[in-house]
């Protein structure tokens, strides 16, 4: 079944393909589906933003849609960058956003560098039924970018001694915030199907 991901982020699309294609979905990006709109993320929470994006694409296509909103929450920065992760500090690339976090954290002790990634998924079935789930992964902010296997804030997010850009793709896809949100989604879909509600 065709499933449109409400994004053109190559790193994100790659992860969703790896995670969802084994379940029989033909995963395509917004661009691949021929949709050229930029949904304004006016929500104040991850859940509100993912719902806005999913509903906008569904209205156009009436096709199964998955939208997520995700970001980094740093405790020492009062929850920043949060819902503004993708446009934090007015920076227009990942490297500058990473550098901004590190500069703000330069005097923060190791024990106070806790952070977590959040991912909310808003899934709309072809029938129009909506499902919302959330996933998280907890770690710490490192002192310098490490690794080249990730995107976004992965190089400074430390998980069990390695950055998210250093861990293997398989490891990241099993423990990430996106993976945890997807597990919650798949669990809900499985429960509905086993209950006879197709």
- Phi/psi of residue 159, nearest 5 degrees: -130, 115
CB 154 within 8 A of CB 97: no
Kindly give the residue spans of alpha helices, DSSP state H, lying in the chain.
Answer: 10-20, 46-61, 94-104, 169-175, 177-194
Q: Assess whether 69 carries a catalytic annotation.
A: yes
Q: Which of 26, 68, 69, 92 is catalytic?
A: 69
In 3-state terms the chain splits into helix, strand, coil percentages (rounded to 5) of: 40, 25, 35
- Cα dist. 7→3, 39, 184, 185, 196 in Å? 12, 10, 20, 18, 31
CB 47 within 8 A of CB 134: yes
Neighbours of 158 (CB within 10 A): 18
Please state, in angstroms and rounded to a whole number, the distance separating the CA atoms of residues 172 and 169: 5
Task: Tell me the catalytic residues.
Answer: 69
């Amino acid at each position: 079944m065709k499933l449109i991901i409400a994004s053109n982020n190559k790193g994100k699309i790659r992860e969703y393909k790896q995670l969802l294609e084994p379940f029989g979905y033909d995963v395509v990006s917004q661009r691949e589906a021929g949709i050229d709109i930029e949904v304004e993320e006016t929500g104040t929470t991850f859940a509100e933003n993912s719902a806005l994006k999913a509903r906008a694409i569904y209205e156009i296509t009436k096709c199964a849609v998955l939208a997520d909103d995700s970001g980094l929450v740093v405790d020492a920065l009062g929850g920043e960058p949060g819902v503004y992760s993708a446009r934090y500090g007015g920076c227009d690339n990942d490297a500058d956003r990473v550098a901004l976090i590190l500069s703000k954290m330069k005097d923060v002790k190791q024990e106070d560098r806790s952070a977590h990634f959040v991912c909310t998924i808003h899934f709309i079935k072809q029938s129009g039924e909506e499902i919302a789930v959330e996933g998280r992964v907890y770690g710490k902010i490192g002192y310098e970018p490490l690794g080249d296997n990730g995107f976004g804030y992965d190089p400074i997010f430390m998980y069990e001694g390695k950055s998210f850009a250093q861990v293997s793709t398989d490891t990241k896809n099993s423990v990430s915030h996106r993976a945890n949100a997807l597990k919650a989604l798949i669990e809900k879909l499985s429960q509905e199907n086993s209950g006879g509600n197709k």
